[in-house]
Chains A and B, each alone.
Chain A
Amino acid sequence: MTATRQRWLHLALAAGVGFLFLVVLLETTREVGYARDEGFYFFASRKYEAWFSLLGRDRALALKREQVDLAWAVNHEHPGLIKSLFALSHMKLQSGGKWFAETGTSFRFPAMVLGAIAVATTALWGMRRFGVAAGLVAGLSLAFMPRFFFHAHLACFDVPITALFVLTFFAFDKALSSEGAGWPIATGVLFGLGLDTKHNAWFLPIAFVFHGLLCALVAWRTGSNRWAATRRHVHAIGAMTILGPAILIVCWPWLWFDTLARFKEYASFHLHHDFYNMEFLGETYFQPPMPRLYAPVMSLATVPFITLALGTVGAALFLRRASKDLVECERSTLDRHRTTLLWVVGVGVSYGPWLSTNTPIFGGTKHWMPAYPFVALLAGAGFQAAITAAKSELERLGRPRLISLLAALGAALAVASPIEQAVRAHPWGLSAYTPLFGGATGAATLGLNRGFWGYTTGSVTDVLNQAPEGAEVYPHDTAGSSWAMLREDGRIRPDLRAVWRVEDADYSLYHHEMHMQQEEYQAWVAFGTVQPLVVRGLDGVPVIWVYRRPARR
C-alpha cells in the first residue's frame, strides 16, 4: 500500500471510529439526566442564542455594547465558544430543523461531536505512529474510559477541552515534523479555540515550551543542531502567542469591551476559585491542603486497569529506548522519540497541577481529563510493543500468518473490559469505579465520591411521573434549569412542579454526596419518615433516592 493510500485509510478508519462513537452517544444520551452545570450552560446558551438571532436581524444593534453585555454577561466566568456552539446547534438544528428528539440533545450535540473528534484524533495519531490496531486500541480506550464516556454526553466543557487539547498537540506535532506555515498556524488557531473553551488550555504553551527545552537538551546530548531541533517549536509557539489571545477575544464577545479588566476578572475567578466539597477515602475535603494522592488514586480507580497497564508498558518502553539512544548519543533520537515525548508531556502537564495540595479537587477526574487521550495513545504504544513481540515469537515458531488474528484478538481483549465498564456504568458514570477497586461497591465501602451535579434525577423520572397531578418535587442538587430541560424534553410531566424547600414538597430527591447528608436528615424531619420510596444506583450502591410525604401514601 502506498503511503498516501495508507494515510487515507487511517483517516477513514479514525473518522469511522469517531462517527460510531458519536452515534453511540446520541443513542444513549436520553438515559443521562441533566447535570447541574449543564443547566447553567443551557440558560447562558439561550441568552447567546438570542444575541445571535439579533445579530442576524440587526447587526449594528447587536454589536452595541449594551446588547453584547446583556447576553454575554451571563456565565462570563467561562469563555464563550462552546456555549456559542450549544446555542447555534439549538438554533439551527433544533429550532430550525428538529434534528433531535429532545431539545437537550441539541445543546449537547456540539460537545458530543468534539468528543468524537477527540476519539478520532487519538485513533488517527495512534495509527500514524504505530499502525491500525494500535490506533484503534488508543481511540477505543479513550472512548470507553467510563468517566470520559459519561462526560462526553454532557453539554459541558470537559470533553470539549480534552478534544481541543489533543487536537492542538496533534497540530503541534505536525508542525514539528513539517515545513511551512500551515501547521504552526493551525496550532495557533486550535490553541485560541482551546482558550475559548476552558482554562486548561493555558497549560498548552507550558507543555510545548517544556517539550522544546527537552528537545534542545536531547540535541545537545546527541550533538545535533539545537536550533534545528527547536526551530519549529519557536514557529508554532509564536503562532500560538499571536493567534491564541486574538481568537479568544474575537470569539468571546464578553471581552470586546473593557477587555483587560474583564480578562483579569476571568483569570481571578479561576485562580481564586471556591473550594467545593469532595469525598475521598471517607473524608470530605473542602479547603487546602487537598490530598496529594487524589489524582493518582482516582485515576487508578476510574481508568480501566488494562488501559493503564498498556499505557505503563508504552511509557516504560519509551523511556527505556529513549534513554538507550541518549546514552549512545544516537543522532536520530529526536526523530524517533519526539512524538512519544510529546504524549508523555501531555500526561504530565495535565496532572501537574495536582502535585500541589492547593489545587481544588471538587470536579473529580474531569480536572485532568485532557491527559486521557495521551494515556490512551501510550496504551496504543504498549499494545504495539506486545504485538511486535508476539510477531517475532510467531515468526520464530514458523507461524507468521497468525499475527493478524492475534492482533485482532489482542485489540479486542484490550478494549473489551473498558467497553464492559462504560456500558455497565451508563448512565451512572460518576459512580463508576474499576474492578481493581471493587467497582461501585468497593468504592462506596472505601468512601469514594458516588456522584455530583444532581444529574441522576434523570434516573427516577419514571417514579416522579407516577406522582399525583400537580405534585411538588424538591429536586435537591438538580439545578432549576436542568429540571426545566427535563420537563421541556417530556421526561418529566409538565404538571410536576419543582420547589426549592424540602418542607414545601410532596416528593423529595436526595442525590448522595457525603457532605450533603444533612439534607437527607432535613427531609426525614420535614417528612416525618426515614423510609425512601425508591432507591436507585449502580450495581446495588445507592446513588439517588426518593422520599414521598407519608400523608400522600
Chain B
Amino acid sequence: MKVRASWLYLLLPIAGVFELCMGIRGRSVAPRAEDYDAIIPVMASLYREGDLVVVAPRWAEPHVRRALGDAYFPLDAIGRSDSQRFSRAIEISVLGEEAPDTQRFREVERKRAGDFSIRVLENPQPEPVVFDFVDHLEPRYASAFGTDPEVRCTWSDRARVASGGLGGHPTFPPKRFLCQEDFYLNVSATIIADEKFLPRRCIYAHPTPTGARVVRFEKVPLGDRIVGHSGMYWMIERSHLGAPVDLEVRVDGDSLGTFSHSDGEGWKRFEVALGSHAGATEASVEFVVSAKRYEHRHFCFQADSR
C-alpha cells in the first residue's frame, strides 16, 4: 500500500517524543557525585601501594579523586609521563569507557560497584624504575647551580609558594632550590599542563640568562637507560615565540646526549642508553639546561632510570 506523503509528518511528533524520552533517560546515565562513594570499599580491598588508578572517561576522575582521596592518586601517578613503569593498574570505568593508557594491560580481575566497573589490570611488560629523579629532588640526592656565573642554588623547606595563574608559571612548591639569578629561575618539582592539558609531574628548571642550569644527582643507582620527557606549559609553548631549550644528560661526567626541545613539540620523550654506566650503584647524574634566549622558557623535565 502506498503511504501518503502527509503521513511522513508523523515523524515529527515521534522525533519530539523520542528526544524527550532520551533527555529524561540522559539525566540518569552517569552516576551522581555521591554515587562514587560506592567504589570506596571495593577499592580498599583491591588497591596496593604503587598501583596506578585510572578513570574512564577521564572527565569522571574528579569524582573519583573526591571519593578516594590522595592515597590513591599520588602525584607521581596522576602526573605520570607514561604508564609502562606501573606493573599493576586499577581502572574505574563508567558508561563502558576504557582508559587509553592502560589498553595494553591485561585484565586479571573485574568487580562491579554500583554503576562502576572496576578492573584490576596487569602490565605484561612493566619497566621497573630504579631511580626517579623527580622523586629525589631534595638535598640528600640533588643540588642545583648555574655555570655562568657559578652560583649554587640553596634548598629551602619553606619558600614562598607561588603560582602563575592562567598562562603563567606552574606552582613553585615550598620545598625547592632557590637560585640567585631570579625568583622564577628556581628548581622545583611541580606539575605542568602538556599539549593536551594533561598533568605532567616534572622538575622545573628554567634556563639561565647566561651559561646553563645544572641539576645534579649523586649516589644514583642506575638501570640500563635513562628515560625522560621534557616540555613547557602548553600555553607558553604553543605561541612558538621562544628559543629551543637544550637538555644535556651527563653521567659521571660523560655526556650521553643532548636533546633539544622546540616550541610546539609538546611533552617530548627522550631516552639515553647508559652503556658502561649501566647498573652503577652510586653514579653522578647531571641534567644541564640551557637556551640561547632564556625568556619565558618554563622548561620542565621528568626523568628516571629503568
Contacts and interface: CB of A to CB of B under 8 A. Distances in A.
Interface of A: 284, 286, 304-306, 309-310, 313, 382-383, 385-386, 389-390, 392-393, 409-410, 413-414, 416-417, 420-421, 424, 434-436, 438-442, 444-445, 500-503, 514-519, 521-526, 529-536, 539-542, 545
Name the residue among A310, A530, A545 with the largest chain B CB count within 10 angstroms: A530
Contact of A521 (B24, B68, B192): B192
Contact of A518 (B60, B97, B193): B193
Contacts, number: 183
Nearest to A305: B19
Contacts of A445: 57, 59, 95, 97
A36 B166 CA distance: 15
Contacts of A500: 165
B15 A386 contact: no
Interface stretch (B6-14, B41-49, B131-139, B142-150): B6-14
Contacts of A286: 238
B62 interface: yes
B59 A417 contact: no
A277 to B, nearest CB: 8
Contact of B9 (A390, A444, A501, A540): A390
Nearest to B189: A525
B278 to A, nearest CB: 33
Contact of B191 (A501, A525, A531, A542): A525
Interface stretch (B28-36, B80-88, B103-111, B249-257): B28-36
Given A393-B7, A530-B73, A417 B23 contact: yes
9 contacts: A313-B12, A434-B23, A440-B30, A503-B160, A514-B197, A515-B197, A518-B235, A521-B79, A525-B173
A517 B197 contact: yes
A522 B70 contact: no
Given A524-B171, A539-B30, 8 more contacts: A435-B23, A435-B25, A442-B26, A515-B197, A518-B197, A519-B163, A526-B161, A540-B31
Contacts of B161: 503, 525-526
A396 to B, nearest CB: 9
Interface in B159-175: 160-166, 170-171, 173
Contacts of A304: 19
Contact of B62 (A383, A393, A439, A535): A535
A516 B191 CA distance: 13
B165 A532 contact: no
B230 interface: no
A134 to B, nearest CB: 13
B66 A531 contact: yes
Interface of B: 4, 6-7, 9, 12-13, 15-17, 19-20, 22-27, 29-33, 35, 57, 59-60, 62-63, 65-66, 68-70, 73, 75, 78-79, 95, 97, 160-166, 170-171, 173, 190-193, 197-199, 233-235, 238
A370 to B, nearest CB: 24
Nearest to A389: B6
A429 to B, nearest CB: 15
Contact of B33 (A305, A416, A444, A540): A540
A365 B289 CA distance: 44
Contacts of B173: 525-526
B66 A439 contact: no
Contacts of A514: 197
B23 A439 contact: yes
A513 B274 CA distance: 41
A284 B31 contact: no
A383 B9 CA distance: 9
Given A517-B199, A533-B66, A539-B29, A503 B163 contact: yes
A500 to B, nearest CB: 8
Contacts of A526: 161, 163, 171, 173
Contacts of B24: 420
A441 B70 contact: no
B60 to A, nearest CB: 8
B16 A530 contact: no
A466 to B, nearest CB: 16
Contact of A519 (B6, B97, B166): B166
A158 B237 CA distance: 33
B276 to A, nearest CB: 38
A444 to B, nearest CB: 4
Given A413-B16, A502-B163, A530 B65 contact: yes
B27 A539 contact: yes
Contacts of B4: 393
Contacts of B66: 531-535, 545
B20 A503 contact: no
